[in-house]
A and B are shown apart, each in its own frame.
Chain A
């Protein structure tokens, strides 16, 4: 496989996105607001979503033809890294990344025209319903089937870990049509759709279990044609690369929290960061974070190189997942007793890190995918 050279430095426009995002997130959200939202019923604030939409975020990676900003995965990764720094709650990843990518990759042009414009404006929130069993990060459904019903379709089945399913207006449901895998757009208010809002380890990113009990759909609710598993596979690769950027932001934040604390916390008459036992932990955190960044930045930059993404996305998925979980744990350890308290922010990151490391495939699953791409 040929290597792909990429350029890592950010352009001025990309730096502007970073600065705008950081300023908005710190001023308008901040960790206190995150905590309020985390404890609220929905874990979400429509007003905030509207403000993000006004900044053009949901449509960042949607083409201008469909009302978006027409930017690419690098700009998206810059924004997600900033969102990750503040464990930003809400359906941005579910709707603007996962669902939007699925439509871009799998849907036919009519469906794209119909859905992308209202996704870009933030008018609707969508999410992808693909996984069905706890360790089955696979695209081919085993319990969700679509059958022909008159001119339309009838859906039956159950989907797990549907990100922000309780907030979505539209569910993109992956179902077996018996003639290949199909993607269906399902109105959450349709008869037979059940959405159970789960209590989640990471309260800043919610999930639902979705049941589909004889849901009747129009023919146009089938968004794609033929077998769409290759496009959905690609969707998950792109989403894995995007999630890696968010993980990098969280990991960086944890490292900075730990280092700041190590400089100001005194024990035995001197800052704990002057002891090698703590200093070396911090230095190892730096190394893990830098390695995670390299894989995430690389993956964002090869999104359009199909073969390379098969390696780069699971590489970033496994490295960034493990780095974030580890760094978030080290952050708690360096904080000692205070780090274990509810009032300290360290736990928000550990929970986000651990849950994120499983959402699109465990690190081991990611390595398995990478190994297949490498022929190992």
Chain B
């Protein structure tokens, strides 16, 4: 066992002894976990880490779960813990990290991500939300969309246009905005499922102190890329048990309906095989990445699962036949509650978003083609133009 492994085992044992999970409120436990450097093992000491590697965190989480502790915070504050922390680790000042990391980890402050706009989807760098300097503050005006958790978030990671006369990638600045500030309005975004997981967020003369700026003025695109990279790892990189998720649901429905049609069976097995191939690829990617040999297998997960989830859920609705035409929950606007899988018809609708959220499948294919395979980019008519002169509509 390496010194790092020994150290985390000692610290986890200490944490579990000092704060027995069954008698300690979760938030209190997470505070102590952060203070011991067991939140993000690869962060420096004093910032929730121990200066170790990501793979040590996987081990820590396994030990904590085995000891009865909750790691629910990673879900409750997903955008903060999976993405925000990575941004702060890479770009923020020590003072900013001290201010934000701990309450983020403990879920006392929920985070959201304010990137997409009605006029800037795949082309995030074309964003139009303006931030104008006024003394020690910036004044923000504009609209963001597709914002998960905005309605309960305390902080938002926002990219803004600070120099409309610079080419689009160079005129962007990144801030952490207080979602409770004057002028921030959050409205639910009614989705095709009837749920509102997402929000529209309007900024009307919202004042953001300059101390909430991440990295330099005009350096926001670099920070945004860190955020997006962490997002795609979080979406595509999870390792799940064999036969779980929507393919498990399809198998369950197959068995419940007593179906024995050989054509449908082959289709089910085809989907099962594809899902298992994607699952094994995630496992292989995680292994190679933590061994320090990252390869192309790490970039395909998000794209693969987006396709598969859509195909599998559509197939499950087919298996249900006429029952698949029912929508038991109805379409009245509701905020989603955390649960397991959606029932098949809703899952069929919800998975349409899998190939849009966090980078459309078309953008993912471009990334694979250009960054992994080294194919040339499309000529870009907007790249060197001042943002203000770029055609839009």
- Hey, which bits of chain A sit against chain B, CB under 8 A? 3, 7-9, 259, 262-263, 270-271, 273-276, 278-280, 282-284, 286-287, 290-295, 297-298, 315, 318-319, 364, 367-368, 370-371, 374, 376
A selection of 11 A-B contacts at a CB cut-off of 8 Å is A262-B375, A263-B376, A270-B376, A274-B377, A278-B375, A279-B365, A283-B368, A287-B303, A291-B274, A367-B273, A368-B269
Give the docked Cα–Cα distance between A295 and B278 (Å).
Answer: 9
**B269 x A8 contact (CB < 8 A):** no
Per-residue CB proximity of B118-142 to A under 8 Å, as 1/0? 0000000000000000000000000
Extra contacts, 8 of them, besides A293-B284, A295-B277, A295-B280 (Cβ < 8 A), are A271-B376, A275-B378, A280-B366, A286-B296, A291-B281, A292-B277, A319-B277, A376-B272
- Tell whether A8 pairs with B287 under 8 Å between CB atoms, given A279-B370, A287-B303, A376-B254: yes
**B288 x A371 contact (CB < 8 A):** no
Cβ–Cβ < 8 Å partners of A282 in chain B: 369, 373, 375
CB distance from B302 to the nearest CB of A (A): 11
B258 in contact (CB, < 8 A): no
- Tell whether A291 pairs with B375 under 8 Å between CB atoms, given A3-B241, A283-B369, A318-B273: no
Give the docked Cα–Cα distance between A286 and B366 (Å).
Answer: 12
**B297 x A274 contact (CB < 8 A):** no
Chain A residue nearest to B242 (CB atoms) is: A3
Cβ–Cβ < 8 Å partners of B304 in chain A: 287, 291
Chain A residue nearest to B300 (CB atoms) is: A287
Cβ–Cβ < 8 Å partners of B266 in chain A: 364, 367-368
**A367 x B368 contact (CB < 8 A):** no
**B376 x A274 contact (CB < 8 A):** yes
CB distance from B275 to the nearest CB of A (A): 10
Chain A residue nearest to B281 (CB atoms) is: A294
**B372 x A374 contact (CB < 8 A):** no
Give the docked Cα–Cα distance between A275 and B370 (Å).
Answer: 11
Per-residue CB proximity of B359-393 to A under 8 Å, as 1/0? 00010111011101111111100000000000000
Cβ–Cβ < 8 Å partners of B281 in chain A: 290-291, 293-294
Instruction: Tell me which of B272, B276, B287, B291 has the highest count of chain A C-beta atoms within 10 A of its own C-beta.
Output: B276
- Hey, which bits of chain B sit against chain A, CB under 8 A? 241-243, 251, 254, 265-266, 268-270, 272-274, 276-278, 280-281, 283-284, 287-288, 291, 293, 296-297, 300, 303-304, 362, 364-366, 368-370, 372-379
Cβ–Cβ < 8 Å partners of B365 in chain A: 276, 279-280, 283-284
Cβ–Cβ < 8 Å partners of B276 in chain A: 295, 315
Cβ–Cβ < 8 Å partners of B376 in chain A: 263, 270-271, 273-274
Give the docked Cα–Cα distance between A318 and B276 (Å).
Answer: 12
Chain B residue nearest to A259 (CB atoms) is: B373
Choose from A8, A273, A287, A370 the contact partner of B368 (Cβ within 8 Å).
A287
Cβ–Cβ < 8 Å partners of A364 in chain B: 266
**A9 x B288 contact (CB < 8 A):** yes
Give the docked Cα–Cα distance between A211 and B293 (Å).
Answer: 52
Give the docked Cα–Cα distance between A364 and B263 (Å).
Answer: 10
Give the docked Cα–Cα distance between A9 and B287 (Å).
Answer: 8
Cβ–Cβ < 8 Å partners of A271 in chain B: 375-376
Cβ–Cβ < 8 Å partners of A294 in chain B: 277, 280-281, 283-284, 297
Cβ–Cβ < 8 Å partners of B265 in chain A: 371, 376
Top 4 closest pairs, chain A to chain B, by CB: A279-B369, A283-B368, A273-B375, A294-B280
**B373 x A286 contact (CB < 8 A):** yes
Cβ–Cβ < 8 Å partners of B378 in chain A: 274-276
Chain B residue nearest to A269 (CB atoms) is: B379
Give the docked Cα–Cα distance between A271 and B377 (Å).
Answer: 10
Chain B residue nearest to A291 (CB atoms) is: B277
**B291 x A367 contact (CB < 8 A):** no
**B288 x A8 contact (CB < 8 A):** yes
CB distance from A275 to the nearest CB of B (A): 7
CB distance from B311 to the nearest CB of A (A): 14
Cβ–Cβ < 8 Å partners of A376 in chain B: 251, 254, 265, 268-269, 272
**B272 x A293 contact (CB < 8 A):** no
CB distance from B122 to the nearest CB of A (A): 12
Give the docked Cα–Cα distance between A350 and B93 (Å).
Answer: 56
Cβ–Cβ < 8 Å partners of B254 in chain A: 376
Give the docked Cα–Cα distance between A280 and B254 (Å).
Answer: 33
Give the docked Cα–Cα distance between A135 and B296 (Å).
Answer: 37
CB distance from B242 to the nearest CB of A (A): 6
Give the docked Cα–Cα distance between A342 and B33 (Å).
Answer: 66
CB distance from A257 to the nearest CB of B (A): 12
Instruction: Tell me which of A9, A282, A284, A376 has the highest count of chain B C-beta atoms within 10 A of its own C-beta.
Output: A376
CB distance from A319 to the nearest CB of B (A): 5
Cβ–Cβ < 8 Å partners of B274 in chain A: 291, 319
Give the docked Cα–Cα distance between A314 and B254 (Å).
Answer: 21
CB distance from A286 to the nearest CB of B (A): 6
CB distance from B277 to the nearest CB of A (A): 4
CB distance from B291 to the nearest CB of A (A): 5
Give the docked Cα–Cα distance between A367 and B277 (Å).
Answer: 13
Cβ–Cβ < 8 Å partners of A262 in chain B: 375
Chain B residue nearest to A280 (CB atoms) is: B365
**B375 x A274 contact (CB < 8 A):** yes
**A293 x B369 contact (CB < 8 A):** no
Cβ–Cβ < 8 Å partners of A292 in chain B: 277
Choose from B291, B293, B366 the contact partner of A276 (Cβ within 8 Å).
B366
CB distance from B66 to the nearest CB of A (A): 16
Cβ–Cβ < 8 Å partners of A280 in chain B: 362, 365-366, 369
Choose from A7, A276, A290 the contact partner of B300 (Cβ within 8 Å).
A290
Cβ–Cβ < 8 Å partners of B243 in chain A: 374
Give the docked Cα–Cα distance between A318 and B277 (Å).
Answer: 11
Instruction: Tell me which of B269, B291, B376 has the highest count of chain A C-beta atoms within 10 A of its own C-beta.
Output: B269
**A370 x B273 contact (CB < 8 A):** yes
CB distance from A132 to the nearest CB of B (A): 23
**B293 x A374 contact (CB < 8 A):** no
Cβ–Cβ < 8 Å partners of B377 in chain A: 274
Give the docked Cα–Cα distance between A311 and B374 (Å).
Answer: 35
Cβ–Cβ < 8 Å partners of B284 in chain A: 8, 293-294, 297
CB distance from A103 to the nearest CB of B (A): 30
CB distance from B380 to the nearest CB of A (A): 11
